Structure 1
Amino acid sequence: MPRVRELEVFRLVLPHGRRSESLLVKLTDDGGMTGWGEATSPAPKTWSRLEETLAALLIGVDWEHPDAVPGDDQAVDMACWDLWTRMRGVPLAEAIGGTRTSLIATVRLTPDPSVESLVSRVNQQVCAGYGHVTLDVRPGWDVEPVRAVRAAYPALTLAVDCGNAYTDLGQLVALDSYGLEVIERPFPVADTYSHASLQDQVSASVAVEAGSTAELDDYLTLRAARVLLLRPSAFPSLSEARRAHDRAAAAGWDIQCAGGQGAGLARAATVAIASLPGCTLPCDVTQPPRQNQIVTPIVGANAGVVAVPLTQSGLGHDIDETRLRRLAKESFRV
Structure 2
Amino acid sequence: MPATLDLHRLAMPLVRPFRTSKGEETVRDVLVARFCDSDGIVGWGESAADAEPIYFPEYIDGVRLTIERVLLPLLSPLAAAGPLTVGRVRAAMSGVPGNQLARGLIETAVLDAELRRHELPFVDWLGSASRPIRVGVSVGIPGDLDTLLSWVAGYLEDGYRRVKLKIAPGWDLAPVRAVREAFGDDLPLQVDANQAYTAADIPLLTRLDAYGLLLIEQPFARHDLVAHAALAARRGTPVCLDESVLSLDDAMTAIRLGAADVVNIKPSRVGGYLTSRQIHDVCLANGVPVFCGGTLETAVGRAANLALATLPGFTLPGDISATSRYYAADIGRAFELDADGCLAPPTGPGFGVEVDAAAIEEFGIESVRHEVG
What is the TM-score normalised by the length of structure 2? 0.81
1:160 aligned partner: 191
**2:61 alignment counterpart:** 44
Greater CA deviation, 105-114 or 8-17?
Answer: 8-17
Correspondence 1:256 to 2:286? no
Unaligned runs of 5+ in 2: 18-24, 50-58, 94-101
* Contact kept in structure 2, 1:294 and 1:319, CA below 8 Å: yes
| Structure 1 partner of 2:342 | 305
Query: In structure 2, what is the equivalent of residue 189 of structure 1?
Result: 222
Aligned to 1:10: 8
The correspondence for 1:81, drawn from 111, 114, 118, is: 111
Deviates more, 1:127-136 or 1:300-309: 300-309
Residue range with higher mean Cα deviation, 96-105 or 217-226: 96-105
Pair 112,14 (structure 1): closer, same or farther in 2 beyond 3 Å: closer
Cα distance in structure 1, aligned partners of 2:252 and 2:274: 17
Q: Which is worse superposed, 47-56 or 31-40?
A: 47-56
Equivalent in the alignment of 2:149: 119
Note if contact 1:81-1:92 (Cα within 8 Å) is conserved in structure 2.
no
The within-5 A match list for 1:156-235 is 156-167=187-198, 168-209=201-242, 210-235=245-270
Q: Which moved more, 1:258-267 or 1:275-284?
A: 258-267
The 5 Å alignment of 1:125-140 reads: 125-140=155-170
C-alpha separation in 2, matches of 1:176 and 1:276? 30
CA contact (8 A) 1:133 1:158 kept: yes
Aligned partner letter, 1:315: F
What is the deviation of 1:214?
A: 1.9
1:98–1:260 Cα change, 3 Å: farther
1:209-231 superposed Cα distances (whole Å, 9 cap, x missing partner): 21112221221111122100111
Aligned length: 330
Match of 1:31 among 17, 29, 39: 39
Q: Tell me, in whole angstroms, the C-alpha distance in 1 between the residues paired with 2:217 and 2:337.
A: 21
- Percent identity, aligned pairs only, is 30
Match of 1:323 in 2: 359
SS in 2 for 1:201: coil
Distance 1:123 1:307, change over 3 A: same
TM-aligned CA distance change 1:207 to 1:314, over 3 Å: same
The DSSP-based 3-state class of the residue aligned with 2:4 is strand
Moved more, 8-17 or 87-96: 8-17
Change in CA separation of 1:156 and 1:68 when aligned onto 2, cut-off 3 Å: same
Match of 2:351, as an amino acid? L
Measure the CA separation in 2 of the matches of 1:161 and 1:53. 34
Contact 1:264–1:292 (CA<8 Å) still a contact in 2? Answer: no
SS of match in other structure, 1:44: helix
More displaced, 26-35 or 45-54?
45-54
Deviation, 1:94, is 2.1
CA displacement, residues 85-137 of structure 1 (integer Å, 9 cap, x when unaligned): 11111111221233341111111112232223322222222222122111111
Give the superposed CA RMSD. 2.3
Deviation at 1:262, TM superposition (A): 4.3
Deviation, 1:52, is: 4.8
Distance 2:130 2:231 in 1: 32
Q: Is the 8 A contact 2:192 2:217 kept in 1?
A: yes
Deviation at 1:156, TM superposition (A): 0.7
Pair 113,25 (structure 1): closer, same or farther in 2 beyond 3 Å: closer
Gaps of 5+ in 1: none
Q: Which whole-Å deviations, capped at 9, do the CAs of 1:184-207 have from their partners, x for residues lacking one?
A: 111112221221221222432210
2:178 to 145, 148, 155: 148
- Counterpart of 1:259, as a letter, is G
Tell me, yes or no, if the aligned pair for 2:33 and 2:106 is still in contact at 8 Å.
yes
Structure 1 equivalent of residue 307 of structure 2: 272
Please give the alpha-carbon distance, in whole angstroms, between the structure 2 residues aligned to 1:187 and 1:52.
34
Q: d(CA) in 1 for partners of 2:87 and 2:282?
A: 19
Q: Quote the Cα distance in structure 2 between the aligned partners of 1:60 and 1:176.
A: 58
| AA matched with 1:14 | M
Distance 1:261 1:145, change over 3 A: closer
Q: Is the 8 A contact 1:182 1:205 kept in 2?
A: yes
